[in-house]
Amino acid sequence: MAELIYDGGGRLLFTKEMKKEYTILMPQMLPIHFTMMKRCFESEGYKMDMLTSNHRGIVDTGLKYVHNDTCYPALLVIGQLIEAVQSGKYDPHKIALIITQTGGGCRASNYIYLLRKALTKAGLEFVPVISLNLSGLDKNPGFKLNLRLLLSLIFAMVYGDIIVLLANQCRPYETKGGVSDEMSEKWMVRLTEEFKSFKNLNAGRFRKNLDLIVADFASIEVLKTPKVRVGIVGEIYVKFAPLGNNNLEDFLLSEDCEPVVPGLLDFIIFKINNRAVDVELYGGNPLKRFVAGLLQKYVENRQRELIAAVKKYPSFRAPGTFESIKEKVAGYLGYGNKMGEGWLLTGEMLELIEDGITDIVCTQPFGCLPNHVVGKGMIRAIKKNHAQSNIVAVDYDPGATRINQENRIKLMLANARMNLERSQKEKDEKKDETGEDMSKNTKGKRFTA
């Protein structure tokens, strides 16, 4: 058994010996992205297992070991991890836990401390916790973010974004049910195999894969009937994780809508950009700003290649660049407003609205202060400049019932459907007046209101 070693502050370290013997458990937020990221870690010699449990017992476990005033995503992640440790599936003396840590002012930066505190309360203080971050926090001799791992994780995020983006635009319209999911699974398997070799992490292969992915999804037979498109924004965990938002995307599909979810890349670039903004606004080491700038430019270039690949097929809606979102926020929020999702959350709503997706669900953990400022707090300002916007803020916490959340969304959808019917009627009237099918004048975008 690996020897337990602590640092000067009493923190249990993940050692090189543990890397050989221990299985690292990781929570899930984005199924496709995280499956590929798991493969990236395995390619570096780590033994990984991703937790996919999704039931009420996770909330109960979280409430047992975390104060109920704590951020709902923290409660879910910690509940899921501790439940796994106690499940009997693993030898608790041969596992470690890993969670991300942003290093900002949001409560998310405290997840790792809360997790260690919960483990101690559960009598599991011998389980090491690894912080995955770009801030140099909580270093461990047995866990390193080397260049190859960092590049493969970036590739996994880009691939995940493009697969989710295209699948969401095909799934509501596919003539044969399940085809989009099958295509997503096909590419997820293929790409995870590629992560086994570093030679596959090159620009040429990357661009070729993006083109092939878009071409494959474009081959799916779809019936482009008008549907309500619903944007999903908010705190990153409840925005993306089915466990956090009570399977919001599935609910919207069941309501005959097209879910539109901004990608993970914008959030990653936002967090990198914050390092440079700190130096610009408050001073600091110019080298930090320079390094952050290089990394940001690299990731932004990969994002632009994703956008270019999608734009080759006008039937798909391509996302905007990070820089274009940042420009939209000017006049709403300052760039120093970066706690949690910061100004990016406002920017995502503006991008969706300006792209014709005016119906939006803003997901937020109950009591999430950043969201109350940049999410719920900005709805009035956004509606002032975009009267057609139809935004509902929905709280997620241990006491919030799924039926109440869905009923709030259904009220928003009722307005959305009336607007859709009105829009279609106007298009039909223009068609009758001109004798032309005005609905074709969409500049290649899908026939949806």
Phi, psi for 289 (deg, rounded to 5): -65, -40
Task: Tell me the whole-structure pTM to 2 decimals.
Answer: 0.91
Structure tokens at 115: 């997790």
Burial of 434 (0-12, 13-18, 19+ CB in 10 A): exposed
Write out the chain's pLDDT in tens, 449 residues.
678 888 878 889 999 999 999 999 999 899 999 999 999 999 999 999 999 988 889 999 999 999 888 889 999 999 999 999 999 999 999 999 999 877 666 766 778 889 999 999 999 999 999 988 776 678 899 999 888 899 999 999 999 999 999 999 999 999 999 999 999 999 999 998 888 887 888 889 999 999 999 999 999 999 989 999 999 999 999 999 999 999 999 999 999 999 999 999 999 999 999 988 989 888 888 898 999 999 999 999 999 999 999 999 999 999 999 999 999 999 999 998 888 899 999 999 999 999 999 999 999 998 788 888 899 999 999 999 999 999 999 999 998 889 999 999 999 999 999 999 988 888 777 776 666 554 443 333 443 33
Phi, psi for 268 (deg, rounded to 5): -65, -45
Structure tokens at 330: 């000017």
Give the whole-angstrom CA distance, residue 62 versus residue 73: 10
Structure tokens at 340: 């949690």
The answer to whether 23 and 49 are in contact (CB under 8 A) is yes
Domains, in order of start, for the chain? 16-145 (3.40.50), 227-263+319-440 (3.40.50)
What residue type is assigned to position 207 of the chain? R
Give the whole-angstrom CA distance, residue 8 versus residue 22: 23
Q: Dmax over Cα atoms in the chain, in whole Å?
A: 81
CB atoms within 10 A of CB 168: 21
The answer to whether 244 and 72 are in contact (CB under 8 A) is yes
Structure tokens at 268: 């990653």
